[in-house]
Structure 1
Amino acid sequence: MSSDYLIAPTPEDTQTFADSSVRLIDMIFPGDTNHHGTLFGGVALAHMDKVAFLTATRHGRAPFVTARSERIDFTAPGFSGEMVEVHGTLTRVGNSSLDVEVNVIAEELVSGERRNLTRGLFTMVARKGPDTRLPLPPMPAPAPEPDEDEPLRMVEMVFPTSTNHHGNLFGGDAMKMMGKAAFIAATRHCREIVVMASSDRIDFTSPIREGSMIELVSRIRMTGRSSMLVEVELWAEELLSGLRSHAATARYTMVAVDKDGRPKHFAPTRA
Structure 2
Amino acid sequence: MTLTAPLDRPSTDSSVQLIDMIFPGDTNHHGTLFGGVALAHMDKIAFLAATRHGRAPFVTACSQRIDFEAPGYTGDMVEVSGAITRVGTSSLDVEVTVTAEAPVSGERRRLTRGLFTMVARKGPETRLPLPPLEPASPADDADRPLRMVEIVFPTSTNHHGTLFGGDAMKLMSKAAFIAATRHAREIVVMASSSRVDFASPIKAGAMVELLPRVRMTGRSSLLVEVEMWSEELLTGARNHAATARYTMVAVDAEGKPKPFAKAAL
- TM-score normalised according to structure 1 size: 0.92
Query: 5 Å matches for 1:34-73?
Result: 34-73=28-67
> 2-side partners of 1:117 and 1:202: how far apart?
35
SS at the partner of 1:188?
A: helix
1:31-78: CA deviation from partner (whole Å, max 9, x where unpaired)? 000111100000000000000000000000000000010000001010
Q: Could you say if the C-alpha distance between residues 149 and 249 of structure 1 is closer, same or farther in structure 2, counting changes exceeding 3 Å?
A: same
Does the 8 Å contact 1:190/1:268 carry over to 2? no
Say which SS state the counterpart of residue 174 (structure 1) adopts.
helix
Aligned partner of 2:145 among 138, 151, 156: 151
Stretch of structure 1 that moved more, 194-203 or 99-108: 194-203
Counterpart position of 1:163? 157
The corresponding residue for 2:131 is 137
| Pairwise CA RMSD | 1.7
Match of 1:175 in 2: 169
What is the correspondence of 1:226-241 to structure 2 with a 5 Å cutoff? 226-241=220-235
Counterpart residue identity of residue 25, structure 1: I
How far the C-alpha of 1:164 sits from its partner, in A, is: 1.1
2:248 maps to 1:254: yes
Q: How many residues align?
A: 259
Counterpart Cα distance in 2 of 1:49 and 1:243 = 23
Report what 2:101 is aligned to.
107
Identity, % of aligned positions: 75
Rate the CA distance shift 1:140–1:234 in 2: closer, same or farther, 3 A.
same
TM-score when scaled to structure 2?
0.94
Distance 2:149 2:22 in 1: 16
2:216 corresponds, among 201, 222, 243, to: 222
Matches within 5 A, 1:18-97: 18-97=12-91
Structure 1 unmatched ranges of 5 or more: 1-11
Provide the C-alpha distance between the structure 1 equivalents of 2:84 and 2:256, rounded to a whole number of angstroms.
45
Q: Tell me if the contact between 2:10 and 2:211 (Cα under 8 Å) persists in the aligned partners.
A: no
Task: Give secondary structure in 1 for the equivalent of 2:142.
Answer: coil
Change (3 A) 1:46 1:105: same
- In 2, the alpha carbon distance for the partners of 1:55 and 1:145 equals 18
Looking at structure 2, the residues matched to 205 and 44 of structure 1 have their Cα atoms a distance apart, in angstroms, of 32
- What are the equivalent positions in structure 2 for 1:184-199 lying under 5 Å apart? 184-199=178-193
Does the 8 Å CA contact 1:230/1:251 hold for their aligned counterparts? yes
Cα 1:269–1:30 shift into 2, 3 Å: farther
**1-structure distance, mates of 2:124, 2:9:** 23
| TM superposition shift of 1:145 | 2.1
Deviation at residue 179 of structure 1 after TM alignment: 0.3
